[in-house]
Amino acid sequence: MSTRRKCRIALIAGGAMLGAGLSTLPALAEIKHTPQLDQLIKAAEAEKVLNVVWGGTSLGEAKGAKDIEAGLNRAFHTHFTVNFTPGPSMPQMATRVIQEVKAGQKSSTDLFLGIEVSLPGMIAAGVLEQVPWSEYFPNITPEMQTQNHEALLAYTLFNGMSYNTRLIPEKDVPHTLAEVFRPEWKGKLASTPYAAGFDRLALAYGDDKIRPIVQKMAEWAGGLIRCGEYERLASGEFLGLVLDCGQVEPQFMVENGGPIKLVPLDDALATTLTYFAIPKTSAHPNLAKLFAGFVVTPEGQAIIAKYGGTSHLVPGTPAYKEAKSFEARGLKLLAYTPDTIAPRLKDAAHYKQEYEHILEGK
């Protein structure tokens, strides 16, 4: 079947839930093909295999990679294989890619996945391809990519408080930072050892306003845990996690029978933006571009929605709807892109280090 044929995208019939209790995305009739997209598909077909390395639970790990592989092949009538390998943290992976590209070595991953603070150093080092994303996928807007097209937004996470619904009833759920500090919760909450989200709040509102909150959080926290350690909330070891990175594992979500919910805090709407980028020494750069571009189509977003993250810039996604709901209420969403955070990266790193020390009791 010709790759020039427009690819029909059918979302799950009957308005079925997109896993993890997330809202169904509206169906689109087709992925619009351009001559550049058809050329990219042809070049990708010659590469056949995509090797990706990223850490944590990003995009559902191996299962998520296979789900995207299936969707990609379904959309473009291809037979690509995606191999996933668990890797180090995003900052560590960014450093590794810089070293590999500078040394002229093939990149460990064909496609880099990292948060906004990981990208400025890579962009400054000149190790990423500048990709004409919109020529391949017309739905990709300038806001979805960095200024010089090195990175493409994959998904948005909203920081907030994750909590055990069996231990905190609905009437007591906080909606602001001040409401977190209930006397009876002192010593029963957790925070993160890396002060997730607080650095971005300081960039927006100033250290003088956020530092006292972090100091109070250090008093209220009964321990420090990593984002993703939801078994420690589910067991009742802690009532909640403040601030959470924003991605609850599906198995722990209330919609799937678990006890965990995540609530945004109206005065702490920091986001974590996660991007795709192509290392200049990627072994399979064309397939990497096709994979990344597909993920930001509505069908691709429907697939990754099952793993708790969608882009707030793709209309119809859960993240888009949530961002619009904040906007309708007059709330400020703090979304720092690689370009906007680059001039303030040293400030953000300083705040992060200071707040980590406070939370650790140093």
* CA 193 to centroid of chain Cα atoms: 19
Average pLDDT over residues 311-316: 96
For 54-74, give the DSSP string: E-TTGGGHHHHHHHHHHHHHH
Closest CA relative to residue 286, chosen from 106, 9, 14, 49: 49
Average pLDDT over residues 231-240: 96
Phi-psi region of 94 (alpha: psi -120 to 50; beta: other; left: phi over 0): alpha
Q: What is residue 56's predicted lDDT score, i.e. its pLDDT?
A: 67
Which residues have C-beta within 8 Å of that of residue 31, sequence separation ≥ 6? 6, 7, 9, 75, 137, 297, 299
Q: How confident is the prediction for the chain on average, in pLDDT?
A: 90
C-alpha angle 29-33-36 in degrees, rounded to nearest 5: 160
| Dist CA 298 CA 75 (whole Å) | 11
Tokens linked to 311: 């882009």
Dump pLDDT digits (tens) for 71-117: 999 999 999 999 999 999 898 999 999 999 999 999 999 999 999 99
Longest dimension (CA), the chain: 65
Fold of 160-268+332-359: D-Maltodextrin-Binding Protein; domain 2 (3.40.190)
pTM across the whole model: 0.87
Fold of 16-156+274-323: D-Maltodextrin-Binding Protein; domain 2 (3.40.190)
Higher-confidence position of 95 and 249:
95
Dump pLDDT digits (tens) for 134-189: 999 999 999 999 999 999 999 999 999 999 999 999 999 999 999 999 999 999 99
Question: Residues 302-332, buried b or exposed e (16+ Cβ, 10 A)?
Answer: bbbbbbbbbbbbbebbbbbebbeebeeeeee
Q: What is residue 208's predicted lDDT score, i.e. its pLDDT?
A: 97
Bond from prior residue into 243 cis (ω within 30 degrees of 0): yes
Q: Among the listed ranges 12-21, 280-289, 353-362, which one has the minimum average pLDDT value?
A: 12-21
Looking at the chain, the domain(s) classified CATH 3.40.190.10 span: 16-156+274-323, 160-268+332-359
Which residues have C-beta within 8 Å of that of residue 284, sequence separation ≥ 6? 44, 47, 48, 49, 50, 51, 110
Length of the chain: 362
Dump pLDDT digits (tens) for 2-15: 333 333 333 323 33
The amino acid that residue 102 corresponds to is K
| Dist CA 351 CA 362 (whole Å) | 14
The DSSP bridge pattern shows strands 112-115 and 271-277 to be antiparallel
